[in-house]
Amino acid sequence: MDKIPLAIVGCGGMGHRHLYGLAELNDSGLSPFELVAACDPVRANAESLADDAEERLGKRPAVVERMEQLEPLGIVAVDITTTPRHHHTVAVEAVERGWHAMIEKPVGLTVRASNRIREAAERTGKIVSVAENYRRDPMNRLGKALLDAGAIGSPRLMIHNTMGGSDLMLITVWRHQKNQSGVLLDVGVHFTDIIEYYLGPATTVYAQTRLHEQIRRNIAAEPGGSSPRNPSVVYERWQKQMPAEFEATADDASYATLLFESGAVCQYIEDHAGRGQGVFTRQIHGSEGSLELPQDRSGQLLTLHKDGEAICDESLLDLVPDFHLEPIIAALFGGDRLWGYDFPFPVTDRKLIAAEYGELGLAIENGGTIEVDAAQGARSVALSYAMLESSVAGRALSMDEVLSEEVDAYQHEIDEEIGLV
Ligand SMILES: NC(=O)c1ccc[n+]([C@@H]2O[C@H](COP(=O)([O-])OP(=O)(O)OC[C@H]3O[C@@H](n4cnc5c(N)ncnc54)[C@H](O)[C@@H]3O)[C@@H](O)[C@H]2O)c1
């Protein structure tokens, strides 16, 4: 069968990581794609991705700076890994040109931008998949299977607490700018996705958010400096060009209570300014026990606490006799009933991205389902913004108020800037 012609649009850090994911899928013999173009207005970034592609895929894709230059190349799908500010313009243009799209999270920069992408997907009938990697981690698949099998009874409370970061730059400057994303969206949207993955639809949010660290430091720009925030070791060349110190404009901490249709509650802390003890806690407490979930992409074990016992070994699988990873994830991770895995971070990173590509390929070729579509992607963006909007409003907000764009005081100036109001 002919390969699906694909372009990667956005050739920065994640664009390169997506290429590594595509190469991983290719190496496993499961890739239905041919990478025909690398697109980025910063030509050097597209050239760099094309060089890497030649090395890893054996063929150099065309290098282009604008989407219309993709037209003569017979593109069927684009993989959008631009900064979030450009997701909606690129994605809407792509589906209107008749191309399917995978879009990195957050699907859009604001709820309004995300809704525009969802509407364009519905209008054109094109596939839009959100590249949400955390939920595809085999450990989250196992955690969800245990929950669905009733291993802890009915979920009552989820505790999701993360703290750390001090005044250091998180990967890039734009992650600290309100009009370009902000950390509570950039990182938070992974967490809001995983929380709805486990607990189902959220209904109500109350939060206090803060901007604790108004000046952020970029250690990579210091002489001989190297940033500790450099996932998959691809960002340093850009980090060295960024300012050593800059003003942050987006809130960097959220302390929230989330309610769910099921009646469950989530106690949520996402604090990127923590200067003391680092925290990662994700637990789900149910009517018969609790689950302690490991950090995403770590391969560490999850623990089931029940009847005074703690189970964190292979016997967890006895509780989920029907648990099987999807064939692509099983092939990439080396087993379809995994209870742990052990790869260096860059390898895990590219396997999860390979799984996203695999799902997209099956959807294009055989009408397979898309797990995180534009509607679910928009929900995760809305749940992240619901916390920021609740803090501005000084009251609890319903998800409906935020998802429908009725409440947008925090986002309004961003939407104005990107021409959506
Ligand atoms: N899932 C994950 O684990 C994960 C990790 C990192 C980043 N991301 C997401 O990936 C996306 C990209 O992040 P990044 O870290 O690669 O950022 P980055 O700043 O390293 O790269 C962004 C690239 O997009 C390019 N770009 C900007 N506008 C464009 C346009 N209109 N057309 C084509 N290219 C354009 C820039 O020139 C740059 O090369 C973001 O949405 C981010 O949230 C996801």
Residue 397 lies in a domain: yes
Same domain, 141 and 97: no
Distance 367 CA to ligand 1 centre (A): 28
Same domain, 19 and 30: yes
pLDDT confidence of residue 246: 98
Distance 15 CA to ligand 1 centre (A): 7
Domain boundary among 95, 112, 134: 134
pLDDT confidence of residue 229: 83
Same domain, 121 and 225: no
Distance CA 31, CA 138 (A): 20
What number is the average pLDDT over the span 35-56?
98
Ligand 1 atom with least separation from CA of 90: 31
370-407 confidence digits (pLDDT tens)? 999 999 999 999 999 999 999 999 999 999 999 999 99
Distance 181 CA to ligand 1 centre (A): 11
- The answer to whether residue 138 scores a pLDDT higher than 70 is yes
Distance 245 CA to ligand 1 centre (A): 21
Distance 284 CA to ligand 1 centre (A): 32
The token duo for 266 is 């989530």
Same domain, 189 and 129: no
Total number of domains in the chain: 2
CATH number of the structural domain spanning residue 75 = 3.40.50.720
- The answer to whether residue 107 scores a pLDDT higher than 70 is yes
The residue contributing the CA closest to ligand 1 atom 5 is 14
Same domain, 38 and 153: no
pLDDT confidence of residue 114: 98
Residue 56 lies in a domain: yes
Same domain, 88 and 108: yes
Same domain, 210 and 316: yes
Ligand 1 atom with least separation from CA of 353: 1
292-318 confidence digits (pLDDT tens)? 999 999 999 999 999 999 999 999 999
Same domain, 174 and 116: no
CATH number of the structural domain spanning residue 214 = 3.30.360.10
What number is the average pLDDT over the span 337-349?
97
Ligand 1 atom with least separation from CA of 66: 32
The type of residue at 353 is I
What number is the average pLDDT over the span 346-356?
98
Distance CA 207, CA 389 (A): 8
Ligand 1 atom with least separation from CA of 84: 41
pTM score, whole prediction: 0.98
Same domain, 155 and 255: yes
Sign of the C-alpha dihedral computed for residues 118, 120, 125 and 127 taken in this order: negative
Residue 195 lies in a domain: yes
Ligand 1 pocket list (CB less than 6 A): 9-15, 39-42, 45, 81-84, 86, 90, 104-105, 133, 172, 186, 238
Residue 380 lies in a domain: yes
Q: Kind of pairing, strands 290-293 and 33-39? A: unpaired
The residue contributing the CA closest to ligand 1 atom 9 is 104
Same domain, 107 and 176: no
pLDDT confidence of residue 233: 83
Residue-range definition of the domain harbouring residue 402: 136-327+374-421
pLDDT confidence of residue 1: 64
What number is the average pLDDT over the span 173-185?
98
The token duo for 81 is 């890994």
Same domain, 70 and 208: no
pLDDT grade for 367, boundaries at 50, 70 and 90: very high
Tracing tokens 């992650």 back to the chain, one arrives at: 175
Domain boundary among 134, 156, 184: 134
pLDDT confidence of residue 223: 86
